[in-house]
Structure 1
Amino acid sequence: MKEKMHSGLRFENSTLDEVDARILTALDADARLPTAELARLVGLSAPSVAERMRRLVNEGVVRAYTVEIDSKALGYQIRAMVRIRPLPGKLHLVERLIQETPQFIECDKITGDVPFLARLVVHSIEEMDDVLESLSEHAVTSTAVIKGTSVKRRLPPL
């Protein structure tokens, strides 16, 4: 695996520089920035920024431009983190059930005794009970309701 060192940071399979880091930081703050505005912010021409963006996409550094949705504004009053431990022989079935349950808005496979850590949004405690009950025949769950967010999703150090 090719690695490049830059300013004490290691970038695998990439040729990121300080300008790329400024572009990524600006896009993290507002993914809808027009190329001309992005160019002005980083001190390059619009064609140069467009070419850098193409390279960042081609290298897999930028995978998508996305929108952040407030689940509470959509009526989902409860957010929770759910650790899910499938019963023996049920790993793939449980993974499929998680994928097919729209209230699970994100799920990571993790190391340790509990292979899944999922983010759940529901309208009520009763809905949360229904969702978790649908897994109970195939998995053991442990749920923590999210009270607030101390650090919202952000870029890693560039």
Structure 2
Amino acid sequence: MDATDRRLVGALRENARASWAELGRLVGMSGPSVQERVRRLEEQGVISGYQAVVSAEAFGLSVSALVDLYQSDDADGDDIVDQLRDILEVEDCWYVAGDENYVVKVRAADVAGLESVISKLRRVRGVSRTRTTVVLATNWEGRSLPAVVEPPDDDESASVGSES
């Protein structure tokens, strides 16, 4: 990815509905050229999709929690992940290093709904136990990737670590 690709990705992260012409103005290219670049970035897997960011509260999901899942010794991790995909309240799933094996982010309407989700998670074949952290407030979510930031100029990077 060159600097133009990085600017395009940054612009799309801010507004994925921007027109080709608008994106072109931002990076100094024609609309069709931008469209071709974005298509190439999609094919390379740099851009893996587009989605609407919606308010969970608008859908009545005011309770969020992070749930640690501990895998039993004889469990198949792929089977656990497949079962987690079927639990609609699971928004994100991470395989992690540490005492727990997975951390999932879940959303529910209320505490009773959260209790129901935790019960579903405990019934997942291969999960030996859970530990839940209830989110009290969300300061931010979906922060932009640092890779979108412009790399330093060659002159700047050449001077890093050089003797003065």
Q: Matches of residues 38-117 of structure 1 in structure 2 within 5 Å?
A: 38-92=23-77, 93-117=79-103
State the TM-score, normalized to the length of structure 2.
Answer: 0.79
| One-letter amino acid matched to 1:149 | T
| One-letter amino acid matched to 1:25 | G
The count of residues paired between Structure 1 and Structure 2 equals 143
CA distance in 2, matches of 1:129, 1:96: 21
Distance 1:136-1:54 versus aligned 2 partners, 3 A rule: closer
1:146 and 2:135 aligned = yes
| One-letter amino acid matched to 1:148 | A
- Aligned-residue offset at 1:31: 0.8
* Runs of 4+ off more than 4 Å: none
- Which of structures 1 and 2 has the bigger CA Rg? 2
| One-letter amino acid matched to 2:64 | R
Bigger drift between 137-146 and 110-119 goes to 137-146
Paired residue for 1:33? Answer: 18
Q: Deviations over 1:46-100 (max 9, x none)?
A: 1111111111111110110111111111000101111111223234443333211
- Aligned-residue offset at 1:144: 1.2
RMSD, aligned CA: 1.6
Bigger drift between 106-115 and 71-80 goes to 106-115
Match of 1:135 among 94, 109, 121: 121
CA distance in 2, matches of 1:97, 1:118: 12
Bigger drift between 94-103 and 37-46 goes to 94-103
| One-letter amino acid matched to 1:157 | A
Which stretches in structure 2 are left out of the alignment for 5+ residues? Answer: 149-164
Question: Higher relative contact order by CA 8 Å / sep ≥ 6: 1 or 2?
Answer: 2
- Aligned-residue offset at 1:143: 1.1
Paired residue for 1:21? Answer: 6
Which stretches in structure 1 are left out of the alignment for 5+ residues? Answer: 1-15
Paired residue for 1:11? Answer: none
State the TM-score, normalized to the length of structure 1.
Answer: 0.82
| One-letter amino acid matched to 1:145 | V
